[in-house]
């Protein structure tokens, strides 16, 4: 949704942009190209591999770019360390990136075979394998149900515990095999792969993706300059719900700091969905800073 992002984020008056999930710099590159030589961009990402790739891809922009290996929940500290008090445009592009999905060694996808890692920041401890092989059955079932919205969560959790009693689960293929054996036959052959929701759930749990989202959005609203824009792209209902409710709270009648710019989230065009099937579930919500009150 790069066209939609540029539509909402770009303004001739905007000079400093913050990409909280710079990834492999697809959006960052387009923002820098379209915003003119006087603009700057600060890019954050938890993935050191992505930061290294972005550093190479964005090298032609020189000192207009500052790339930081770090989490967006610490965006205020990262901006302060860069000598920046406020910014004009902020982007969150949530979830896992295509290069992460396409690299079997990262363990995000059930379509290849790799270690059960799933960490966005590989310098952190606690892999998916640790979680899957150590957590009690009830906790596994709760995670799969809450973060994956998987109706067969109890059956899958029970099957995982039985399988790990024989030997620890170490690879994505092993986990897929357990899931396939736990769910009904008709569910194994549905439109959505039967492992999709469970893999999503474990990825969210490993990276604590939902816990840090609302505080980060509130911090982002605080560091926006008056009239500045905030865009959030989410890829599943749990994320989108948090974004929607946070925007609603920040745009409420009592001392609002944001104005929501669309009644409903924008979704990809049919052309983009056909060209890039992974974009089909994307939802974009834009908002604008309307007040300096409460800024710190």
The percentage of residues in the chain with a pLDDT greater than 90, rounded to a whole number, is: 82
> What would the mean pLDDT of 65-77 be, rounded to a whole number?
96
Cα–Cα distance for residue pair 251/61, rounded to 1 Å? 35
What pLDDT is stored for residue 296 in this prediction? 38
- Check whether 292 has a pLDDT greater than 70: no
Domains in the chain, please, with CATH?
2-95+210-289 (3.40.50.150), 104-207 (1.10.150.170)
- Check whether 70 has a pLDDT greater than 80: yes
What pLDDT is stored for residue 57 in this prediction? 96
Mean of pLDDT over the chain: 93
Strand pairing partners for 56? none
CB-CB contact of 57 with 24 (8 Å): yes
Cα–Cα distance for residue pair 39/15, rounded to 1 Å? 4
Cα–Cα distance for residue pair 79/73, rounded to 1 Å? 12
- Terminal-residue alpha carbon distance, the chain: 31
Q: What is the pLDDT of residues 124-156, one digit of tens each?
A: 989 999 999 999 999 999 999 999 999 999 999
């Amino acid at each position: 949704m790069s066209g939609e992002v540029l539509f909402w984020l770009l303004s001739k008056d905007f000079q400093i942009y913050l990409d909280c999930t710079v990834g492999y710099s697809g959006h960052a590159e387009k923002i820098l190209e379209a915003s003119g030589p006087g603009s700057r961009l600060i890019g954050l990402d938890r993935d050191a591999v992505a930061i290294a790739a972005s550093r190479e891809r964005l090298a032609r922009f020189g000192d207009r770019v500052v790339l930081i290996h770090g989490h967006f929940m610490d965006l205020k500290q990262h901006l302060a360390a860069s000598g920046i008090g406020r910014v004009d445009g902020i982007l969150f592009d949530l979830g896992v990136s295509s290069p992460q999905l396409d690299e079997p060694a990262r363990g995000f996808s059930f379509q290849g075979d790799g270690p059960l890692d799933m960490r966005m920041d590989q310098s952190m401890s606690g892999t998916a394998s640790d979680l899957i092989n150590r957590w009690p059955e009830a906790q596994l079932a709760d995670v799969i149900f809450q973060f994956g919205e998987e109706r067969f969560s109890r059956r899958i959790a029970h099957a995982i515990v039985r399988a790990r009693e024989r030997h620890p689960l170490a690879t994505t293929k092993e986990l897929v095999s357990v899931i396939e054996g736990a769910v009904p036959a008709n569910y194994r052959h549905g439109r959505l792969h039967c492992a999709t929701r469970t893999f999503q759930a474990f990825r969210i749990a490993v990276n604590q993706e939902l816990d840090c989202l609302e505080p980060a959005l509130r911090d982002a609203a605080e560091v926006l300059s008056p009239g500045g824009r905030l865009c959030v792209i989410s890829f599943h209902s749990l994320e989108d719900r948090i974004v929607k409710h946070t925007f609603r709270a920040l745009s409420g009648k009592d001392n609002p700091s944001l104005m929501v710019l669309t009644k409903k989230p924008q979704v990809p065009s049919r052309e983009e969905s056909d060209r890039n099937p992974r974009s089909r579930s994307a939802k974009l919500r834009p908002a604008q800073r309307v007040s300096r009150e409460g800024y710190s």
